[in-house]
Structure 1
Amino acid sequence: MRVLLLYPLFPKSFWSFEEALELLNRKAMFPPLGLITVAALLPQDWEFKLVDRNVRAVTDAEWEWAEMVILSAMIVQKPDLLEQIREAKRRGKRVAVGGPYATALPQEVAEADYLILDEGEMTLPQFVEAIERGDTQGIFRANGEKPDVTQTPIPRYDLLDFNAYDSMSVQFSRGCPFQCEFCDIIVLYGRKPRTKTPQQLLAELDRLYELGWRGGIFMVDDNFIGNKRNVKLLLKELKGWMAERGYPFGFVTEASVDLADDPELMEMMLECNFGTVFLGIETPDEDSLEFTKKFQNTRSPLVEAVQRITKTGLRVMAGFIIGFDGEKPGAGDRIIRFVEQTTIPNPFFSMLQALPDTALWHRLKKEGRLRETQDVNGNQTNLMNFVPTRPIEEITREYIDAFWTLYDPEVYLDRVYRHIMMMGAPRVKSTAQPITFDQIRAGLTLIWRQGIKRKTRWKFWHHFLNVLRHNPRLWIKFVITCAYGEHFMVYREVVRNQLEKQLAEFLAEEQRLQVEPDSSIQSIAS
């Protein structure tokens, strides 16, 4: 079987980082870990070619070569996924689709011949059996079972073009022990975190190391510390592995805020060269946190928790959401104040969306509050897909204003500076890698934009020189975080323009619906 593994385009979003990637001459932040894991799970006498459309287009020769096209996507990739399914069918190819989007909304990808839903370790063997029988279509489900991820093979990293990506990806665990109402992770992967063995993950790192990768690795676990016991067992093994090889990788991951309550765990992460952690904070409003069942964020003061993590030595990124039920006016301003107080450089801010099959989705559907005409895609440029408890115009205006303020170039630069100055020093020193031409070009471009051309010039040089003087081991992290700002300074305009347009259309439609019933009554009366 000749299989074309096809990964659809991401739209411009928080996670796309186009402007920052352009500086380093990279095409995408992360590779499609799901698809290269699928390639490892399928029969190894099949032939595979991988095309990530965020890196390049599919060639006619690749279309002609393929006997089967397999696609995987998240909901934000929906438009291009559907287009690629149609293109593959137009070319007479058999099409199989899986991943989070297909699993949540299989009826929307029914045009595919095969739907490989849920986790691939459970459903790919069913798919292979169907192919061997000669079945021309099928839907394969796990029926509530969760796989033992200790049996998951090493992903086919050899299928990737390393030069196209900023970072590689690995996964240690699936699932999260918490019960946040809006989250689809616990729907997809369950509330009992399942982990690989330390030796298993080290074998994946060995493979990346053998293939020549050096640099960033995103530990894609939705809550890396969901099973703290197993994470600590991994970190004990990883510490020695990294030291023996001169710390060739730097790790980024996602974790719950209760990381702040475990100094030992944070120290172990730093000793393994973890440098950044993404926290799901969502809101500083405790009432909203309790209403949405994010109780883990109410156990200790959030400001203190974030500052403890930062002072230990981990750079913090965080997710924020506006539009929870019962939310009081001014939520946008409260988020701004919280971000400034904690100095979080990159707040990943969005309006609440009810994702398919989540507890929030089912509750709102039961209450008749889902807006069926509003598409849900998980992006930051869409209106809410349900009727909130306060006016949608009020929420949208607060969101636009807060987003615009948070990523004002001078405000952003100040926040980056204060965060880096608050951070504890790294525990390890990576093996020096040769500086590349792309890195030199990126640095000079950043200096030109933020240190000469823009009104940020005085702040940039003041902050940069102070970091060199008072926290010199973090000057590279300061520059990299400044570079991230290039994306957000552009993206805030995209958010404002698209949401203002959608809001105007929404309000016009609301006004039309209010006027039309009166017109009908007058017509009947006359």
Structure 2
Amino acid sequence: MTDRFHLLLIKPSRYDDDGYVVQWRRSVLPSNALSVLNALGEDCAERQVLGPEVEIRVEAYDDHTGLPPMAELIARLQAASAGALVGIVGAHSAQFPRGADIARRFHAAGIPAVIGGFHVSGAYSMLPEMPPELRQVIDEGISLFVGEGEGRLDAVIRDAHAGRMRPVYDYGGDLVDLSGAVIPRGLPATVENRMLVSVKPADPIEAGRGCPFKCSFCTVINVHGRQARTRDPEAIVRQIRSGVARGRDNFFFTDDNLVRNRRWREIFEGLIRLREEEGLAFNIMIQVDAQSDRDPDFIPMAVRAGCHQVFIGMESINSEALASVGKGHNDARRYRRLFLNWKRHGVVIMVGYILGFPGDTPESIRRDVETIKRELAVDLAYFYVLTPLPGSEDHVRMWRDGVELDPDLSHYTSYRSIAPHPTMSTQVLDGLYDEAWRSFYDDAHCERILTRHAVLGGSLDHLFPFLLVGRGAHPIDDAHPFEFGFVRVKSRRERRPDMPREPLMSFLARRVWETAEAQVRWIRLFRHMSPMVERARAAAAMPRPDDPALMVPAAPVETPAGKVGAALEVASPVSGVAASSGFAR
């Protein structure tokens, strides 16, 4: 009779301000960490790392869409004759408290648990002494995993099987060679079945890791390194071909900066072959930096490879602010040209924009948001508050300087202020964050965004759902679009342990009201915004208005403040309307 070892992988969510787990009936964005670790676990099972007499069963869940009853999971793992292991994977700082609480419940039932992810790897590697939250879980008997999992998960599974888990598996700084690494085969069924019902799930694709830049707020460079490493391009092509065969037509490249992948050309050439020679229909979304148009081949090849959506780390239009965080490679004077180079191909542009730089004031933030609206062809602006995340240079500097930071890691979302600002209180900065969302997505600008997209040949049917979520996620569900889902779920039993459980009837009454109110607001917003699409189509057919965002700068212009608004005053009109890129929508 074959023994069975049970490996359970969980991507944790986070607690909201009321202590409830942020969960959704259906989610939108998949977890790359969970996809990769699930593939590594299945690879361990196929290679029989515990010997031919032990079967390894791998099970994976994303906490953002809820977990099976904890008692049920514990019973399944306790029934495994050869032992079990719970892996809390991909935990960011805001997710660490929830991840640790999940691990504690399994550990209390006699099941070994290990926690990994950006918070553990970054905080453990960057600080000169172990942070108290990491020391606490180690003292409780829970293990930590620092670094990347390829080639290392075998050892953790063997230790769990033998009952000799190490306190820390420290592979920090020892970066793996991705060229022959295991490629995920798609999302686990237990995750895929909880993706948003109205769209097909987007499979995460990781073509590489690492970024060469030195942004002081970034944790990626201190966990994945500053040398861009890449997977085999042909393996990426096979992964997407396999995904299309399974019915997938959307793929999300999770690389923080695909343009810095030294083999991007080979990747795009392979995807172009799939589309143009094999006739496969699919789209990709990628993330790049603000120099992604420097190579004249990158954008046209990305579009031919299926790129219909791009995320660009703009961060600020103020050159001094960019320089203060080591992001001087972003040239604010070129933003308009950069965005138009993408928009001419009908690509939807998302940008990250950070509030709370040391030199920011309420007046400058409001002025800069208005400048972006007026001057730049950005479709979706996703706002963040400058946050010293553990694992970043900013966090190390503040720790050394004894700066008082918010002690609750659940607040480290980058959606709120957790550190003192030189000129603004926490309340003022958080209020400006709310105001930025309202201002950018007001009626007039939403209609302007749709019209610009139509003028430049883009698909309004593709853009509109994202614009709807961009406008509604924060005010209706108090959620960032990148963690948004369909219908917020709260479990009375899954409240933060240090908060009391609410009485059943009052909890149910409140949740019925909250859920109904949110859905009514979404329906009203949809009905309010839908007519904008037809008005944008009609406006796009008329003579082009004098829209500064659709004017190409004659040349970069130096300005005393380095502001994009001033730099873009010297401009010449765009010569014509771009044709639709023609890729599958």
Which TM class, normalised by the smaller chain length?
0.7 to 0.9
Q: Tell me the alpha carbon deviations over residues 248-294 of structure 1, each in whole angstroms, 9 at most, x when there is no partner.
A: 32100110010122231100000011111101111111111111110
- Residue in 2 that maps onto 1:248: 281
The partner residue of 2:110 within 89, 92, 99 is 92
The partner residue of 1:8 within 2, 5, 12 is 12
Q: Tell me the alpha carbon deviations over residues 493-515 of structure 1, each in whole angstroms, 9 at most, x when there is no partner.
A: xxxxxxxxxxxxxxxxxxxxxxx
| Residue identity matched to 1:292 | V
Q: Give the C-alpha shift of residue 380 in structure 1.
A: 4.6
The partner residue of 1:198 within 218, 233, 250 is 233
Aligned counterparts of 2:332 and 2:437: Cα–Cα separation in 1: 27
Contact kept, 8 Å, 2:290 with 2:331, in 1: the verdict is no
The structure whose RCO (Cα within 8 Å, separation 6+) is larger is 2
**Relative to 1, partners in 2 of residues 1:156 and 1:468: Cα closer, same or farther, differing over 3 Å?**
farther
- Residue in 1 that maps onto 2:532: 459
| Residue identity matched to 1:29 | L
The equivalences for 1:362-381 within 5 A come to 362-371=396-405, 373=407, 375=409, 377-381=411-415
Q: Please state if 1:218 is matched with 2:252.
A: yes
Q: Give the C-alpha shift of residue 246 in structure 1.
A: 2.9
Aligned residues: 449
Aligned counterparts of 1:306 and 1:126: Cα–Cα separation in 2: 47
Unaligned runs of 5+ in 1: 427-444, 481-526
**Relative to 1, partners in 2 of residues 1:27 and 1:363: Cα closer, same or farther, differing over 3 Å?**
closer
- Residue in 1 that maps onto 2:272: 239
The partner residue of 2:244 within 201, 209, 214 is 209
- Residue in 2 that maps onto 1:513: none
TM-score, structure 2 normalization:
0.69
Q: Tell me the alpha carbon deviations over residues 122-164 of structure 1, each in whole angstroms, 9 at most, x when there is no partner.
A: 5324324534654134311124211001121122536325343
The partner residue of 1:127 within 156, 161, 164 is 156
The partner residue of 2:433 within 391, 399, 407 is 399
TM-score, structure 1 normalization:
0.76
Q: Give the C-alpha shift of residue 245 in structure 1.
A: 4.2
Q: Give the C-alpha shift of residue 357 in structure 1.
A: 2.6
**Relative to 1, partners in 2 of residues 1:472 and 1:144: Cα closer, same or farther, differing over 3 Å?**
closer
Unaligned runs of 5+ in 2: 49-55, 78-83, 125-132, 196-200, 460-519, 543-576
The equivalences for 1:36-435 within 5 A come to 36-44=38-46, 45=48, 46-59=56-69, 60-66=71-77, 67-72=84-89, 73-105=91-123, 107-108=133-134, 109-110=137-138, 111=140, 113-131=142-160, 133-157=162-186, 159-161=188-190, 162-165=192-195, 166-210=201-245, 212-227=246-261, 229-298=262-331, 300-340=333-373, 341-371=375-405, 373=407, 375=409, 377-383=411-417, 385-392=418-425, 393-408=427-442, 410-424=443-457
Of 104-113 and 77-86, the range deviating more from structure 2: 104-113
Q: Which has the higher helix share?
A: 1
**Relative to 1, partners in 2 of residues 1:307 and 1:11: Cα closer, same or farther, differing over 3 Å?**
farther
Contact kept, 8 Å, 1:8 with 1:80, in 2: the verdict is yes
Aligned counterparts of 2:359 and 2:524: Cα–Cα separation in 1: 42
**Relative to 1, partners in 2 of residues 1:398 and 1:450: Cα closer, same or farther, differing over 3 Å?**
closer
| Residue identity matched to 2:40 | V
Q: Tell me the alpha carbon deviations over residues 171-206 of structure 1, each in whole angstroms, 9 at most, x when there is no partner.
A: 001000111111111011111100011112122223
- Residue in 2 that maps onto 1:483: none
Question: Aligned residues: percent identity?
Answer: 19
Aligned counterparts of 2:177 and 2:356: Cα–Cα separation in 1: 37
**Relative to 1, partners in 2 of residues 1:471 and 1:290: Cα closer, same or farther, differing over 3 Å?**
closer
**Relative to 1, partners in 2 of residues 1:136 and 1:198: Cα closer, same or farther, differing over 3 Å?**
closer
Q: Tell me the alpha carbon deviations over residues 328-348 of structure 1, each in whole angstroms, 9 at most, x when there is no partner.
A: 552321331233121323211
| Residue identity matched to 1:64 | A
| Residue identity matched to 2:402 | G
**Relative to 1, partners in 2 of residues 1:457 and 1:41: Cα closer, same or farther, differing over 3 Å?**
closer
**Relative to 1, partners in 2 of residues 1:352 and 1:133: Cα closer, same or farther, differing over 3 Å?**
same
Q: Tell me the alpha carbon deviations over residues 85-117 of structure 1, each in whole angstroms, 9 at most, x when there is no partner.
A: 122123332112212122234543434533222
Describe the SS at the equivalent of 2:64. Answer: coil
Of 55-64 and 287-296, the range deviating more from structure 2: 55-64
Describe the SS at the equivalent of 2:244. Answer: helix
**Relative to 1, partners in 2 of residues 1:474 and 1:447: Cα closer, same or farther, differing over 3 Å?**
farther
| Residue identity matched to 2:73 | E
Q: CA RMSD in A?
A: 3.5
Q: Give the C-alpha shift of residue 3 in structure 1.
A: 1.2
**Relative to 1, partners in 2 of residues 1:190 and 1:334: Cα closer, same or farther, differing over 3 Å?**
farther
Aligned counterparts of 1:10 and 1:475: Cα–Cα separation in 2: 40
Aligned counterparts of 2:398 and 2:99: Cα–Cα separation in 1: 27
